[in-house]
Amino acid sequence: MTRGDELFHRALRLFPGGVNSPVRAFKSVGGTPRIIDRARGCRLTDVDGRNYIDYIGSWGPMIAGHAHPDVIRAILRCVQHGTSFGTPSPPEIELAEEIIARMPGIEKIRFVNSGTEAVMSAIRLARAATGRTHVVKFEGCYHGHADLMLVKAGSGVATLALPDSPGVTRGSAQTTLVAPYNDLAAVERLFERHGSEIAAVIIEPIAGNMGVVPADEDFLHALRSLTAERGALLIFDEVMTGFRVTPGGAQAFYGVSPDLTTLGKIIGGGMPVGAYGGRTDLMDLVAPAGSVYQAGTLSGNPLAMSAGLATLRLLDDAAYVGLKMGSARLQHGLETLLKRKGGPGVVQRAGSMLSLFFIDRPVRNFTDARAADHAKFAAFFHGMLERGVHLPPSGYEAWFVSMAHDDAAIDETLDAAADALARL
């Protein structure tokens, strides 16, 4: 038994399923999760000394690579002065200024501690601002594990084959309306039936929790027009796409400005963080400026703020050019291998996020994503893992490319993929 196996057996006695988040389990691909000891750049090392090229990237925030010197220095400088004050501190002000300067839809912001918390708070704010109760979400989009959002979610819920989660009450879910992704007619029908009750439409403008599935540009522009006409708010969940696809997120990429935006991942540089922001008139409804209550003891934690600020300052124009080139090179290489091996497969990419579906057509919604051959993905996943490439352990998850994925790492990945595909 390896040390990793021994540690995982201990973990099974301590944690549900041996993990502290379902997406870390190998439930949909089989086998035992690797227990990681350390990471640097684009590579992980497990407790048994095995090395892997990493495409999980802590599920997105490690856009600069693991243990980037600038980020580590920022954390070390900060930690020498304390880890949490429960009062305002300079790093939260500086990070907020950086985010607002880049994100077109954000005029004011409130930091929280997770993407789930950001979504919960944004929806509460939308309901207060509109005086309405219902929220429209899209099948396959994951917006955290708050009760009202665990309805036809993707990601870990899809991996576990749970359309909803036990423990979510009917009362919690009955104000959540669901439409297929990229289906404007379905949204219009919901507004025809419930228009006076709909407070907000929330969407991942580029879905990352059913694999990478970009929204149609016309669809997003139509949602912007429809919500404005019907007195509802448009919320972009950019927890994944914020600072991933462009410096201004998916909203800058598509030229669509939402009323509210939720953020996470990159703005913490690997530390726990979330945020929601939007128009000043909306954000000024939040306490203490307004009466919409939301609070958090560790919100704006100086360590997370310092790590996030250091990360954002690394993301200049040259960084985005490098991320785009590396990601496109990986996408093209995988597409070439799929054609050469003769099997059906589609590689979908947005910025430095991508995913491989074993299917013979582009994936536009959750129905398409579920139709992909996930058993084949599981075999491919293990083939890559054996060859030193650690992918997300689910066909419903995005792969993340970082600034540290150089040509050598991409070449190693493609060599491993050629071998793994040949053995399927």
* Active-site option among 52, 142, 181, 320: 142
Active site annotation includes 265:
yes
Looking at residue 164, what DSSP letter applies?
B
Phi, psi dihedral angles at 112 (to 5 degrees): -135, -160
CB 332 within 8 A of CB 354: no
Burial class of residue 288 in the structure, from the number of CB atoms within 10 Å of its CB (0-12 exposed, 13-18 middle, 19+ buried)? exposed
Catalytic residue among 265, 368, 373, 396: 265
To the nearest 10 degrees (0 to 180), the angle between helices 184-194 and 217-230 is 10
Q: Of 237, 259, 368, 373, which is the active-site residue?
A: 237
Contact 381, 28 (CB under 8 A): no
Give the integer Cα–Cα distance in Å for 172 and 181: 22
In Å, how far are 244, 386, 391, 399, 423 from 53, measured between CA atoms? 19, 11, 8, 12, 20
Fill in the DSSP letter of residue 112.
E
DSSP string, 201-226: EEE-SEE-SSSSEEPPHHHHHHHHHH
Q: Which helix (H) or strand (E) holds 97?
A: helix 90-102
Active site residues: 142, 237, 265
